[in-house]
Amino acid sequence: MSFNVYNSLSKTKEPFRPLEDGVVRMYNCGPTVYNRQHIGNFRSFLFADTLRRWLEYSGYEVRQVMNITDVGHLLDDQDEGEDKIEAQAKRTQKSPKEIADEYAQMFLEDIAQFGVLEPLARPRATEYIPEMVEMVEGLIAKGNAYQVGGDVYFDVASFPPYGRLSGNRVEDLVAGARIDVNEDKRHPADFALWKSDPRHLMKWETVFGPDGFPGWHIECSAMARKLLGDRIDVHTGGEDNVFPHHECEIAQTECFTGAPFATYWMHAKFLQVDGGKMSKSLGNVYTIDDVKEKGYDPRQLRYALIRGHYRTPLNFTWESMKGAAAELDNLDDLLALLQRAAEGADGDPGAGAELVQEAQAGFEAAMNDDLNVSQALAALLPLRRQALENAFGSEAAKDALAFLERAMAVFGIAREQDAGSDAEIDALVAARTQARADKDWAESDRIRDELAALGIEVKDTAGGATWRRK
């Protein structure tokens, strides 16, 4: 069965076909590191992680890149206003680099708590300035961009498909509410590829002048191209990235390379809190720590953030958090029930086998339908009913267990994340076997204790050592 994804570009669900058989090139817009990321940001990042996990479950090799924006993201998302990182640096009397390092580190710690898989690369914009300059120069040479003083603007009139992603029409994007009149621009909708400002703290000397810095959009175009190639399969972000960010990325990359950029554009709808936008004045801009303080762990929060469909707005309340934690408890109970049933010896070992097949088929069909996580979770419910009635035979329970563990791994909520991966445990067990062969009993006892601390029980059998999670 094929994977169908909703493509924001065509506004329809399309069968997923990567450019290269078996390989997916995916770029995710990452955080701007000027403050602590909130749980809304993590909804978008966890969507990207779930997508990756689903592609891997489906057998693809995923080459994933998620950037870190550490320069050029201006306060109003357009070409005006202060750089977000510099504004924070000034407020706190630190350097922009200190701010970026501090919040990038915090982001990495948060993402690790959520059990997010490491991408191929987490490029930082400031480390790809030559690649950006190369693209900007190329766009000038091709007549898609023009320089005014030390600034370079993209000429939207030179790219007729501009507006296709967001539905904006260039003729409507006149000087007005969102776009300040800028005398230097040929058209009010033209956007900055490169800006110059001697007061900017982060600045580079380039062919465009001495005090320049990149526009936010060119950063992602350049990093994606450098790390994944001219064309990629999937590009993701939150819904606010559609315009101007992704619209501008498409224009820049496609004019520069002469080829389509990403085949599929996927956007997560915003997380709302208490039915509205998160706002500082309402005191509901929650971070992972705020949720932990209320007694929930990151695994429960992850579950709360992914359990709805990524294209449905999600409303976070403490009541919904409680509900999510209870649902996850049910899944954990199901695991325990299945474990017990798998070890049982009564009755027909195959009892309930068809339910496992149905649950798996339902789960896969739902995930293949544009990552419908809520429906995929619903497909697991019949397993719980059967297990509660104690109606699984041992063989069917083993199959159910194996499937459920894989499904939970797709959601990033597998228990083993707390207790080391299978490969790590295999390595520890092998080291213990070696220590025993060497008659190094102190070492073999030490490893056994380490495994016990991870909740792993090792059994020595005639065929060698085996292990299981307690």
Q: Using CB under 6 A, count the residues that bind ligand AMP.
A: 16
Binding span for ligand AMP by CB under 6 A among 17-25, 29-37, 359-367, 428-436: 29-37
Which residue in the set 9, 18, 26, 41 belongs to the binding site for ligand AMP (CB under 6 A)? 41
Q: In the Cβ-directed half-sphere of 22, how many Cα atoms lie within 13 Å?
A: 0
Question: Which of Zn ion, ligand AMP, none does residue 43 bind to, with CB < 5 to 8 Å depending on kind?
Answer: ligand AMP
Which residue in the set 7, 8, 32, 300 belongs to the binding site for ligand AMP (CB under 6 A)? 32
- Least distance CB 311 / ligand AMP (angstroms): 12
Per-residue H/E/C for 26-82: EEECCCECCCCCCHHHHHHHHHHHHHHHHHHHCCCEEEEEECEECCCCECCCCCCCC
Element (H, E) at 9: none
For position 251 contacting Zn ion by CB under 5 A, the verdict is no
Q: In the Cβ-directed half-sphere of 163, how many Cα atoms lie within 13 Å?
A: 15
Element (H, E) at 142: none
For position 125 contacting Zn ion by CB under 5 A, the verdict is no
- Least distance CB 43 / ligand AMP (angstroms): 4
- Helix, strand, coil shares, percent, the chain, to 5: 45, 20, 35
244 preceded by a cis bond (ω within 30 of 0) = yes
Alpha carbon distance 78, 245 (integer Å): 9
Whichever of 29 and 39 has its CB closer to Zn ion, that residue is 29
Alpha carbon distance 100, 68 (integer Å): 9
Which residue in the set 40, 214, 298, 420 belongs to the binding site for ligand AMP (CB under 6 A)? 40
Q: Evaluate whether 49 touches 116 at the Cβ level (below 8 Å).
A: yes
Whichever of 74 and 413 has its CB closer to ligand AMP, that residue is 74
Cα Rg, the chain, nearest whole Å? 26
Whichever of 320 and 339 has its CB closer to ligand AMP, that residue is 320
Question: Which of ligand AMP, Zn ion, none does residue 360 bind to, with CB < 5 to 8 Å depending on kind?
Answer: none
- Least distance CB 238 / ligand AMP (angstroms): 2
Which residue in the set 220, 227, 242, 288 belongs to the binding site for Zn ion (CB under 5 A)? 220
Interaction with ligand AMP in 193-252: which residues (CB under 6 A)? Answer: 237-238, 240-241
Q: Using CB under 5 A, count the residues that bind Zn ion.
A: 2
Please report, as a single letter, which amino acid is at residue 56.
E
Whichever of 214 and 308 has its CB closer to Zn ion, that residue is 214
Binding span for ligand AMP by CB under 6 A among 60-68, 94-102, 263-271, 360-368: 263-271
Q: Report CA-CA distances (Å) from 183 to 2, 74, 75, 143.
A: 50, 19, 20, 20
Please report, as a single letter, which amino acid is at residue 161.
P
Whichever of 35 and 375 has its CB closer to ligand AMP, that residue is 35
Closest CA relative to residue 137, chosen from 27, 199, 218, 241: 218
For position 43 contacting ligand AMP by CB under 6 A, the verdict is yes
- Those residues whose C-beta lies under 8 Å from the C-beta of residue 421, and which sit 6 or more positions away, are none
Alpha carbon distance 312, 411 (integer Å): 17
Mutual angle of helices 394-410 and 39-57, in 10-degree steps? 130
- Least distance CB 174 / Zn ion (angstroms): 26
Binding span for ligand AMP by CB under 6 A among 170-178, 268-276, 304-312, 417-425: 268-276
The token pair at 401 is 């267990």
Closest CA relative to residue 230, chosen from 448, 446, 20: 20
Binding span for ligand AMP by CB under 6 A among 251-259, 270-278, 282-290, 301-309: 270-278
Question: Which of Zn ion, ligand AMP, none does residue 184 bind to, with CB < 5 to 8 Å depending on kind?
Answer: none
Whichever of 29 and 321 has its CB closer to Zn ion, that residue is 29
Task: Go through 259-294 and write b for each residue having 16 or more CB atoms within 10 A of its CB, e for each that does not.
Answer: eebbbbbbbbbbbbbeeeebeeeeebbbbbebbeee
For position 29 contacting Zn ion by CB under 5 A, the verdict is yes
Binding mask 58-77 for ligand AMP (x = CB under 6 A): -----------x--------
Q: Evaluate whether 303 touches 327 at the Cβ level (below 8 Å).
A: yes
Binding span for Zn ion by CB under 5 A among 21-29, 158-166, 377-385, 462-470: 21-29
- Least distance CB 89 / Zn ion (angstroms): 21
Whichever of 268 and 373 has its CB closer to Zn ion, that residue is 268
Please report, as a single letter, which amino acid is at residue 274.
D
Alpha carbon distance 3, 108 (integer Å): 30
Question: Which of ligand AMP, Zn ion, none does residue 220 bind to, with CB < 5 to 8 Å depending on kind?
Answer: Zn ion
Whichever of 236 and 360 has its CB closer to Zn ion, that residue is 236
For position 271 contacting ligand AMP by CB under 6 A, the verdict is yes
For position 284 contacting ligand AMP by CB under 6 A, the verdict is no
- Least distance CB 270 / ligand AMP (angstroms): 4
Footprint of ligand AMP (CB under 6 A): 29, 31-32, 40-41, 43-44, 69, 237-238, 240-241, 268, 270-271, 278
Footprint of Zn ion (CB under 5 A): 29, 220
